[in-house]
Structure 1
Amino acid sequence: MLNTKVISIASVSGGGKTTITNALKNRLRNAEALFFDNYDFKGAPEDLVRWVEEGPDYNQWNLDPLLADMKSLQEQEYPPKYILMDYPFSYLNDQLKNVIDLSFYIETPLDIAMARRLIRDYSDKVSFEIHNDLNHYLKYGRNAYLEMENTIKQNADSIVDGSLPVSEIVEAVLRELKNNET
């Protein structure tokens, strides 16, 4: 039976989690990917700003659906060698911390992450919607980004420069994976 490695890719919103996860899936043989944003989690806070302000409890998120999909992949007749997770919390949720083999934090400068998020989320919006989002970020949302920088990054096994081109980030992750397999 194949020993599946679970790899977590964390970053702030707009930091490159999904892009890097997809690029790694394309480069690795026998890999599957799971994406945090594809799930609705029971217990997830409705107001992320308040959640961060009150001192975030990463165990508040019930990650059973993600774990069920991971288990399903691992129990296949021919399980993947790698399960790549676009997952923001690294080792900070008790449900997942013991199943992750390696956690990467993509350290993306906040201005780059914000620019990417605006391009991604507002391609068909009008300027006042962008203006409102930027105001919200400056007044409240930036603290959530800083929380990740100060907490999640410290809990990752490896930190990769998110300002690098995608191909270089992927190469850095692949090198680290290879070093961990020897």
Structure 2
Amino acid sequence: MGNKPIVIGVAGGTGSGKTTVAKEIYNEFANQSILMIEQDAYYKDQSDIPMEERLKTNYDHPLAFDNDLLIQHIESLLNYESIDKPVYDYAAHTRSSEVNHLEPKDVIILEGILVLEDERLRNLMDIKLFVDTDADIRIIRRMVRDISERGRTIESVIDQYTSVVRPMHLQFIEPTKRYADIIIPEGGQNRVAIDLMVTKIKTILEHKAIL
């Protein structure tokens, strides 16, 4: 097969709606050849360090991710080779022994807070999106999610947000906006932006089919 798959990076802060945007795009092509990869699956394996050290992991820092493995996997998919995507065990704060076997597809969506931070990853992308949502909306969404889905208290969510999430966002995530081809305000609620993206991807796929 002469053509290589197209890679779409979807970045943005916690609660920005980036996952919703990625899923909306994915759903538009659900009956076609499309694959979603979450950067969260590529948190580093920490099985060699004690639990009390693992508990200090800063999941909002670029160094928390095993980008070498992620890049290797994207490159395999670009060569139409299958991969075994890791599974992260949040309870154990390390990589699970399980993997998800993924077959290569024509469209790859790579979604995560820091997918635009590593130049090597950016260079593999055909389209780079940044979902840009105001900080107050993002903290509210995070609070609702963490309290309802993860059994957290309001105090713990606020503490984590102010001590880790916010400074990491300002230091590492926000600056990657400059690398985006398209900045989508208000995430998943932005139908116009999602429709534009879907149209653009269809054009690329049709063009590839003709070549």
TM range (shorter): 0.7 to 0.9
The 8 Å contact of residues 12 and 148 in structure 1, kept in 2 or not, is answered as no
Structure having the higher strand fraction is: 2
Q: Which runs of 5+ in 2 are unaligned?
A: 47-55, 83-102
1:106-152 Cα deviation digits (max 9, x unpaired)? 0011111112212222105668x212321342355322222356401
Q: Does 1:36 align with 2:47?
A: no
Match for 2:58: what amino acid? D
- Which residue is 1:161 aligned to? 185
Equivalent pairs, count: 173
Q: Does 1:46 align with 2:57?
A: yes
1:91-115 Cα deviation digits (max 9, x unpaired)? 4313312211111000011111112
- Which residue is 1:173 aligned to? 197
Match for 1:82: what amino acid? V
Equivalences for 1:132-147 in 2 at 5 Å? Answer: 132-147=156-171
Q: RMSD of the TM alignment (CA)?
A: 3.2
Match for 2:157: what amino acid? D
Match for 1:71: what amino acid? E
Equivalences for 1:55-134 in 2 at 5 Å? Answer: 58=62, 61-74=65-78, 75-76=80-81, 79-123=104-148, 129-134=153-158
Q: Which runs of 5+ in 1 are unaligned?
A: 52-57
Match for 1:17: what amino acid? K
The 8 Å contact of residues 160 and 172 in structure 1, kept in 2 or not, is answered as no
- Which residue is 2:10 aligned to? 9
Identity, in percent, stands at: 22
Task: Give the TM-score normalised by structure 1.
Answer: 0.75
- Structure 1 window deviating more from structure 2 (67-76 vs 109-118): it is 67-76
Q: State the distance in 1 between where 2:4 and 2:149 align.
A: 44
Q: State the distance in 2 between where 1:36 and 1:86 align.
A: 6
- Which residue is 2:98 aligned to? none
- Structure 1 window deviating more from structure 2 (27-36 vs 155-164): it is 155-164
Match for 2:68: what amino acid? D
Question: Runs of 4 or more off by more than 6 Å in structure 1?
Answer: 179-182
- Structure 1 window deviating more from structure 2 (163-172 vs 112-121): it is 163-172
